[in-house]
Every structure is written in C-alpha cells, then in structure tokens.
Chain A
Amino acid sequence: MRLRSKSTKAVALLAVAIVMLAGAAAFLAARGGGGDGSLYEVVDYAGNRIKLEEAPKRIVTLDAKMTEMVCELGLTSNVVGVTSDDGVHDVSDFIYGLDFDIGYPTQLKEQIRSGKTALIGGVTNWTTDQVIKADPDLVVFENSANNLNKMKMLQDMGITCLVASNTYDRVGVIYDNMELLGKALGRSDRAKMFNDGMAEAVEYIYGRCKGFEGRDVVMISAPGGTLYAYGSSNLKHVVLRSLGCTTRMAGDATGIVTVENVLEYQPDVIILDPMGKTTDMSALKRQFESDPLWADVKALRGGEIYYLEYAPFQATGYTTHHFVHGIALMAAIVFDELGVDVPQLVEGEKYLGYVSWINRRD
C-alpha cells in the first residue's frame, strides 16, 4: 500500500511535471515557435533601436528576401502584407543542404490567394498608405533610399520598422539579416538553426571544392540581349573568388559590356543569366553560337558558356538561404571535378538536379 502510494505519488509528480513542461513548451511555441522566445533589443541597419513588447501578430514585409526569412522563422501566418514580386516568391519550396521544411513559398502564395496576405504594391513603388491599410505591428524591409524615405512616415504613424542590410558583399550578410530578424521577433534559436544549417552547407561546398584549380569566371546578365557584366563586389563574384576562382573581367560596378570585353579577357567560364523573365536564353545561345565574333571566345569554343534560365538565375541572385543553391550551382558549373554534368542551357527547375549533390554529406 505504501509502495503503491509512493508509486502513485511518483506518477502524479511525473504527470504534473509533464503537464508543466508541455505547458511551458506550448507557451514558448506560441511566442517563439522553437526559438528561445526572448524579444531582444536590436539596432537595425537604419540605426533604429527596436525592442518589441510582444511578438508581432501582423507583419508586413516589403522585400521577398525578408518575406522568406520571416517565413523561415515560422511566422508565415503572421505575414499580412508583401510586395507583388511573384517572380521572386516563385522559388523552390525546399533547400538542399538545409534539412528543414520551410513551406515557403507555397503557404504564403496560398495566403495571398485567399486574401489573408495583402499585396502591398511593388518592391520599389509600395506606398505608406498601402502599408497602413494592412494595419501591421511591424514592417520589415531592406535598407534602401526609397524605403528609408517612407520609413519616417510609417514611424510617425506609430508603426515599428525593422531595416535589414542590403549590402550583400559577403555571404555572412544573409546570416546577419537572419540573426537580426530572429532576435527582434523572438526566434533567435530558429534563426541560428537556419544560419548554422546554411553555414554547414556552404562549408561543405567549399570543402568539396578545396584544392581544385581556380578558373577565371565572369557572370554576365543579358536582359534583352544587352550584356551587363556584374561588378566585382557582387555576391556572385565574391563567392566565385572565395571558391578559388578569379573574376578578372568584372569591373568595379555592373555595367554594359560587349563581346570585345569578353575577347579581351577571354575568361575560362562565362555564366549568363536573363536578369528577368523575358529573355529567351536558348535563342541567345543560338545567336552566340552563330556569331563570328563569339566564335573566337575561348569559353564558347570549349563549351564553357552557361545560359541560366529564370529559375537558376534566381538561385544565384536570391540572397536568402536559397543562395546555397546558387553557390552549389556555380561550383558545379565551374569545377568539373565535382562530377556534376551541368548542360550549357540550364533550364528552369531542372537546375535543382545539379545542386542536389550537396545533400550527399557524410
């Protein structure tokens, strides 16, 4: 009887402990969804000192990259307004190398369709009226002159604004933005989980490429057939250099170039993207292959010009955790040693097949 009584007490204590733990977990989940739940004071990239009293229930994000990060933090259902860059929202719903189920952009698209999430203009032409109409607790956007001009009015209306960095001169800026959002939104643990996952995937890519002979690469966009070489400080070129490549043809800033520039520098590898949806990259490939001047380009003769369609272009130009795909794709293109057979015309979603190698981690 005593034993039974002791046993009953122990079970009862255990049950109470479990209920308390479950309650605490539920409370934390409600606040932080896997994070530590603490809302830290942060100083954002516009110098705003922000300390939220409670986790925001209504968030407006004015840049698709910020939208993705907020969604990755588990707050998709709290997003009540986004800008209408549906092309940028149209990325893959998963990221190789990061084994997390992010549900982005599917869930967000569904919310937009149902009207739960409003479209707040375009990324450059959103208005403060549209934002105010969405009645947000918090507005998240990147640091740009256009955004900062409108920020003051939002702040005067009592709306808290959180400004992320837009100077993507190193991969670490993606981590910095995620960390900032995580701290401000009470999801530090989840932000760290994503950042650690991405850092590990990036580390894996660098590790696999270590020792490979660096090549001279240039990334060029060809919207409407006009060629623009990305500047040397562009993140794509920064990554290529960190992989051991050179980017001799890249100037200080992105600018118009011609085939003469390509002939002058004769890079080993040329990666072309459309910088938009309308350029037909297969037509561009045919055009270059029949052009007598391009015929003298070493990379063309060696089959080392790669034409990225819109989806793979997003992978290399979309500075969120999806950028893991961009790094993996660039590495797969540049280094034959990786054994990934990337065709010259990198079509649509097929590019995912050329980046899946980063999942083969031991």
Chain B
Amino acid sequence: MTNAEGGPADAEMLAGNTVIRGTAHLKRRMAAAIALGMASMLLLYVFSLTMGAYSLSFAGAWDAMVEIIKNGGPQSTDAKVLFFSRMPRSLCVIMVGAGLAAAGAVMQALIRNPLVDPYITGISSGASFGVLLFTIGGASLGALVNANYVIPVVAVIGAIAAFMLTMTVAEISGGRAMSYVLGGAVITMGLSAGTTLITSFNIDELHSVSIWLFGSFADLRWEQAGIIFFPILLVLLFLLCNARSLNKMLLGEEQAHSLGMNARTYKRNMMIVVAALTALCVAFCGVIGFVGLIVPHLTRMIVGGDHRMLLPTAMIVGANILLAADIFCKSALSYVELPIGAIISVVGVPLFIYIMAKEGRKYAM
C-alpha cells in the first residue's frame, strides 16, 4: 500500500482506494504547482504592494522600492507606506496562509480525517479566546508589558489548552476520527459561549476584540511580522522534515507502530506543534477558518496525499489564496477594510459543502 519510500502512493491511497500508481507524474505536478505558485505569489506580492487605501501606482511603488534600496530606508510617504505598511503586512499574510494550510494538512494526516482543520478542532478558537481574555481581562497587564509579545504567548496557551481539551474528549470517546471532529465542535461551542459571555458583560469593549473574532491583517507592521515570521518558518521547515513520518501516520497507529514509530507519542507531540503553529498564525490577525481545511483538499487533488509533495504545495497554495483574499479585503471598498475571516468563510462554506458532498462518504467517520 505504500511506495518504495514508505509513503502512500497518491491521493487515491489516502481515500482508501487500492489503485496504486507511480509517483513520477505527481512529482512533475508538484514541481509545476510549486513553480506556478511561487511565480503567482511573487506577482501577487508585488500587486499587493500597489493595492490599499493609500494611492500608489505600480510606477510609484517601483520608485519607492528604488528609493528604499538606494537610501537604505524609506524617506518619502510612498516609500514609507510601502516599507512600513504593505511589505510586512503581505509577508504576514503569506506566512499565515502557508502556516494554516500546513496545519490543516498535518492535522488531517494525524487524525486521518480530511474534514478537520485547526478551526474545526477548536485550536483557532482557543487561541482567539486566550487573546480575548488578555485583551479584556488583562487590560491593566497590557499597560505594563508590550502586548505584541504577550499576545502570541496567550494565543499559544489558549490554543494548546483548547487542543488538550479536544484531545481528552476525543480520546475518552474512543479516539476515532469522528471523535476529534465532535470533540472539537464541543470545545469550539464552549469557547464560543465563553466569548459571548465575556463580551456580553463587556459590551462597550466589543470592538476592541472584534478583530480577533472577524480576522484582519490591518496595520500589521515589521514588529508583528518579525515576531511571527521566524517561528512560523521554523515550524514549517520542521513539518517538511516530518513529511515521511506523516505518511506513515496515514496508515494508522498500529501500522505506524509496526514501522518503528511510537505513533501515539508522535501524534500528541505533532498536535502540540500544530496547535502552536495555528496560534502563531491567528495571534495578530484573528481567527481565519477554512484555509486549513480547503487548501489541503485542493492541493491533494493536484499532487496526491504524499506529504512530501502535499505539504510544500499546500503551503504555496495557502499563501496565494490568503494573499489574494487580503488584496480584495483592503481594496474592495475605498474607505474601509473588509474582515478577511468573513470573506474567506464566504468562499469557504460553499467549497466545504462541495467537498463534503463529493468526498465525505469515502472516509470512515
């Protein structure tokens, strides 16, 4: 059931289909997808630098870039907008898109259920809840410490706590794939109720937390980009290095165990890594659902289920999708920004329904 290197042969393998084909054509597809994805990401990145509330044409952005390079930093307003606002923002979007997509793909492998993602399993909500508690309850603390450093920490704590709860609920209810979905749904509902309770008692503070409830990349700077960029990058590299082990996990814990893995421990550790990755992703931009769910699916259709191909491609596709969505959010209306979490969900819901209808029956739930 596996190819020569121990991984599943293709997407059909993941679906439980016994048809096995070679991986050469998938590798070719992956190379094409990554090349195209990188090219489009570069184009979108350049495009994103020219889009936003402040008018900056392509020629203006080019001049601004030349100015930044020539002077070693920005001096004109155009160059400052480019350097301090748009470059770090788009970089954050790319990292978060890649991070959420990778988190979704890994989670689907670990739980062996392609209909889960960090949002469905409560991790995103946990991170968001942590940030909400800090923002409303820890306002006095916020005055003492730099919120930029505290927010990712509380997001990670919230995400891991929520994930632990989901794991516990799932394990005591049999540890099947569906247990994780139901456990996550229950924990998400609980966190949602907590969020509602807290905000209902702090109704005049609702706007201060809405950014984490709706999702937005508005006004992210190098300071925030610096905080999340390298940790996310490290986790992504770590996940890429684990692609082969993730392939083994697809075979089930017993099979993985027979291949020399301590599957249970590995699964737990990897889930913590995914929770931390998700928390870093949502720490500054709030909850963004569906990227972790839809992107691995789209990618699997192209390159199959082998994580050595799936993960890098999903990262590129995730980055592209979120970057395109962010460009839309900041330029659709001239006077305000749209919340990216809502926009992604608007597109994600029908896509998810389509995938459920098409693929749902294939998976043991």
Contact = CB atoms under 8 A, between A and B. Distances in A.
Interface stretch (B120-128, B135-143, B175-183): B135-143
Interface in A221-250: 221, 223-229, 249-250
Give the interface size class of chain A: 35 or more
B210 interface: yes
B205 A261 contact: no
B172 interface: no
Given A226-B218, A263-B81, A256 B208 contact: no
B337 interface: yes
Contacts, number: 112
Contacts of A260: 52-54, 81, 85
> Which residue among A224, A226, A228, A250 has the maximum number of chain B CB atoms within 10 Å of its CB?
A224
A224 B143 contact: no
Contacts of A8: none
Contacts of A257: 53, 218, 335-337
B336 A221 contact: no
Given A123-B203, A258-B219, A275-B204, A250 B335 contact: yes
A251 B333 contact: yes
Given A87-B204, A278-B139, A280-B143, A224 B53 contact: no
B53 A264 contact: yes
> Which residue among A228, A255, A278, A296 has the maximum number of chain B CB atoms within 10 Å of its CB?
A278
Interface in B327-358: 333-337, 339
Interface string B111-151: 00000000000000000000000011001001100010000
A252 interface: yes
A276 B136 CA distance: 11
A125 interface: yes
Contacts of B18: none
A296 B77 contact: yes
B314 to A, nearest CB: 29
Interface in B64-115: 74, 77, 80-81, 84-85
Given A229-B335, A251-B335, A293-B80, A223 B85 contact: no
Interface string A12-26: 000000000000000
Contacts of A296: 77, 80
A264 B333 contact: no
B17 interface: no
A225 B216 CA distance: 13
B207 A228 contact: yes
A250 B203 CA distance: 24
A223 B206 CA distance: 8
Interface in B196-221: 200-211, 216, 218-219
A223 B208 CA distance: 4
A278 B80 contact: no
B216 A278 contact: no
A357 to B, nearest CB: 29
Contact of B210 (A226, A229, A259, A278): A226
A277 B204 contact: yes
A289 B54 CA distance: 20
A302 interface: no
Interface in A267-285: 275-280, 283
A124 B202 CA distance: 11
A276 B207 CA distance: 8
A260 B201 CA distance: 33
B104 to A, nearest CB: 26
A258 B208 contact: no
Contact of B55 (A125, A249, A254, A264): A264
Contacts of B147: 225
Given A224-B208, A292-B80, A256 B333 contact: no
Given A260-B52, A283-B143, A223 B207 contact: yes
Contacts of B135: 224, 278
Contacts of A221: 207
A172 interface: no
B190 to A, nearest CB: 19
In the complex, the 3 A-B pairs of residues with the closest C-beta atoms, listed nearest first: A255-B336, A251-B335, A224-B208
Interface of B: 52-55, 74, 77, 80-81, 84-85, 135-136, 139, 142-143, 147, 200-211, 216, 218-219, 333-337, 339
Given A224-B208, A256-B211, A256-B218, 10 more contacts: A223-B207, A224-B211, A253-B336, A256-B216, A257-B218, A259-B85, A260-B85, A263-B81, A280-B143, A283-B143
Interface of A: 85, 87, 122-125, 221, 223-229, 249-261, 263-264, 275-280, 283, 292-293, 296
15 contacts: A226-B208, A228-B207, A253-B336, A254-B336, A255-B336, A257-B336, A258-B85, A259-B85, A260-B53, A260-B81, A261-B53, A276-B202, A276-B207, A280-B143, A293-B85
